[in-house]
Structure 1
Amino acid sequence: MMSRRFLIALALSLLPMAASSAYAEVCATDDAEREVCLPAPAERIAALSPGATELVYAAGAGDKVVAVVDYSDYPPEAREVPKVGSHTRLDMERLAALRPALVIGWVTGNPPEQLETVESLGVPVFYLEPRSFEGVASAIERLGELAGTREVARREAARFRDGMAEIHERYADRSSVRVFYQVWDEPLMTINDEHLIGKVLSACGGVNVFGDLDRLVPRIDDASVLAADPEAILAGGMGEENRQWLTHWEQYPSLTALRRDNLFFVPPSLIQRPTPRLLEGSRLFCEKLEKARAHR
């Protein structure tokens, strides 16, 4: 009897990769610094992270998305697309059955061995993980090239660039606010200045109290936060409306952020995904820091 692994490999190897001669080859460089070329714009795309899903839709190629992973909830129509597991464990048989012509992978989030298997069987994998505002805009444009939606992608990338430039200009001369951003609760985690969220804080005139730490997403503890004594604490939570992470800090009356009523909730999907919605999240961040300035 053939092994399950062989059946998966066989299914993947039978994916339709041939292109009509009516189309020209399209190429783009991914965030792993590899050039990925397709014989024609991709008509069937698998997006293997919620952020990748948003980026493909932003590039104007939402109607070509045939597979997503759990928590791919934006735009709303993405919720109706078949799911192929989670970003940390893909259902390879399900993925194969959906016959993608292009897979959008997450550089540090997807299982490398699974993406390597997909790629070894002839299905192109385009790795994405934007680490800057320009990286987000560029990702949209590059996906537009591979999906044949170049003009839509260019317009959306320009809108994002213009919006971020406006934020930089508006808050360039604002007084600084010392901020702790909580990205997770157990274990307690934050971000450093190299993280994209750290760059948002900087654009709004914030100073990340843990910005100098080496790791992109460092683990810390309550004592570290108390010692840093931030003027404001920003956090998401387990869901788009769950403020539970912020209530944890109400037990520490010595915190400047608590005394000044500067515990601010930000819906995580607006700030923790490297997508065009980061513009909305950045504006919200900046509004929160303006409130912190007003509370002095």
Structure 2
Amino acid sequence: MTALRRFLPPLFVLLALGHNAFAAAIDVVDDMGDTVHLDAPARRIVSLAPHLTELIYAAGAGERLVAAVEYSDYPPKAKALPRIGSYTNADLEAVVAQHPDLVVSWRSGNPPTQIERLRALGIPVYVNEPRDLDAVAHTLRQIGRLAGTGAVADAAADAFEARQAALRTRYASQAPVGVFYQIWDQPLMTINGQHLISAVIRLCGGRNVFADLDLLAPKIGVESVLVADPEVIVASGMGEARPEWLDAWRRWPQLTAVKRDNLFFIPPELIQRHTPRILDGATRLCEQLDTARRRRPAQ
């Protein structure tokens, strides 16, 4: 019995170590279908897109961020993170110098060659490519798994899904409204039906008049807008201020959106970033489309 007692403690230690080592290993499939393997939850994370920086904080892993790209400005504490270039041109030497155990990247924004080079260096890279609103909650949960902050991430994802469901219940069955979403003026750009913003438009009972275009963010001509004759024009711009070029559409008074004064603005960070705050933008858009419905001539 004494011998058995002497043997049990080291046995328990070995079993415990083996169990913890096995349990700590993480395998997550990213949005490109690639498996990201970590031996343990990430402790040093680099973000290659502003929306990913925001998602990492929302998932409870902000304290593990060691660097981010330019324009990673939310929450405010993200502004203090070391910068490693832009999302279109990250400084890979600066990334490597941070000794990350995980890099979180954006397929549509980061050059594929940079992702490949980081993986060739043995750095795990999770590639994000959200195309609908459900992807926001999914990404929160995935980051939570990778960082070991699952409880916080799951709570944030649940809250996002509940708020999304409430908006859908309130607005999705409303009378359709034709919407032209304008990303930029010169060149004139919009979004197609596969873009996340189109999902927001649908959530509010709207219809993207350029949903059938092939490119995710295509360039179009003024003539195309005149032919589509949207009931609403929504512009983004660069910041909190309404862009001057939104009101330039008043040069075409025959447009329904102009005749009914349905020229609306939503700050881009509230609708163009794939984060929980996109529902703030959705709430504004839903209210704007309701305004357009009220401005319809009496039948």
Which TM-score applies when normalising by structure 2? 0.89
Per the TM alignment, residue 143 of structure 1 is displaced from its structure 2 partner at its CA by 0.3
State how far apart, in whole Å, the 2-side matches of 1:234 and 1:151 are: 37
Query: Aligned to 1:89, what secondary structure does the other structure show?
Result: coil
**Quick one: which amino acid aligns to residue 268 of structure 1?**
P
* 2:145 corresponds to: 145
Indicate yes or no: 2:116 matched with 1:116: yes
8 A contact 1:183–1:189 mirrored in 2: yes
The corresponding residue for 1:238 is 238
Q: Following TM superposition, where does structure 1 have runs of at least 4 consecutive aligned residues deviating by more than 4 angstroms?
A: 20-23
Residue matched to 1:277: 277
- Computing the radius of gyration from Cα coordinates, the structure with the larger value is 2
Compute the displacement of 1:23 (Å): 6.6
Quote the residue 2:226 is aligned against. 226
| In structure 2, C-alpha distance between the alignment counterparts of 1:49 and 1:248, rounded to whole Å | 31
Letter in 2 for 1:63: E
Shift of 1:240: 2.3
What residue is the counterpart of 1:59 in the other structure? 59
In structure 1, the gaps of 5 or more residues are 1-19
Q: Distance in 1 between matches of 2:187 and 2:44?
A: 38
Instruction: Answer yes or no: is the 8 Å Cα contact 2:105–2:125 preserved in 1.
Output: yes
Contact kept in structure 2, 1:132 and 1:199, CA below 8 Å? yes
How many angstroms apart in 1 are the aligned matches of 2:242 and 2:67? Answer: 28
> Which residue in 2 is equivalent to 1:179?
179
What residue in structure 2 maps to residue 192 of structure 1? 192
Aligned partners of 2:30 and 2:127 also within 8 Å: yes
Q: Tell me which residue corresponds to 2:76.
A: 76
Q: Which amino acid aligns with 1:105?
A: S
Matches of 1:185 and 1:33 in 2, distance apart? Answer: 35
Q: Tell me if the contact between 2:68 and 2:81 (Cα under 8 Å) persists in the aligned partners.
A: yes
- In structure 2, what residue type is equivalent to 1:210? F
Cα deviation digits, residues 255-274 of structure 1 (max 9, x gap) = 11111111000000111111
For 1:92, the equivalent position in structure 2 comes to 92
How much has 1:103 moved relative to structure 2? 0.2
Query: Following the alignment from structure 1 to structure 2, what is the Cα–Cα distance between the partners of residues 172 and 264?
Result: 19
Contact 2:140 2:156 in 1 (8 A): yes
2: CA distance, partners of 1:132 / 1:70: 24
Q: 8 Å contact 2:24–2:39 — kept in the other structure?
A: yes
Matched, 1:30 2:30: yes
> What are the Cα deviations for residues 204-231 of structure 1, in whole angstroms up to 9, with x where unaligned?
1111111122222221111111111111
What does residue range 160-175 of structure 1 map to in structure 2 within 5 Å? 160-175=160-175
Contact persistence 1:236–1:245 (CA under 8 A): no
SS at match of 2:24: coil
CA distance in 2, matches of 1:81, 1:123: 20
CA distance in 1, matches of 2:30, 2:22: 25
- CA distance in 1 between counterparts of 2:171 and 2:263 reads 21
Quote the residue 1:107 is aligned against.
107
Supply the distance in 1 between the matched residues of 2:171 and 2:235 (Cα, whole angstroms): 21
| DSSP 3-state at the match of 2:264 | strand
Q: Deviations over 1:91-123 (max 9, x none)?
A: 122212221110001112112212211111111
Q: Distance in 1 between matches of 2:179 and 2:130?
A: 23
Determine helix, strand or coil for the equivalent of 2:78.
helix
CA distance in structure 1 between the partners assigned to 2:158 and 2:270 by the alignment: 19
The answer (yes or no) to whether the contact 2:172–2:202 under 8 Å persists in 1 is no
Identity %: 51
Distance 1:52 1:293 in 2: 35
Higher mean displacement: 145-154 or 216-225: 216-225
* CA offset digits 1:126-175 (Å, max 9, x no partner): 00011111111110000000001000000000011111111111113211
1:22 is displaced (CA, Å) by 9.2
CA RMSD in angstroms, aligned pairs only: 1.4
- In the TM superposition, residue 177 of structure 1 has moved relative to its aligned partner by 0.9
Residues paired across the two proteins, number: 277
1:204-223 to structure 2, matched below 5 A, reads 204-223=204-223
The answer to whether the Cα contact below 8 Å between 1:232 and 1:256 also exists between their aligned partners in 2 is yes
Structure 2 counterpart of 1:83, one-letter code: R
Q: How many angstroms apart in 1 are the aligned matches of 2:282 and 2:221?
A: 26
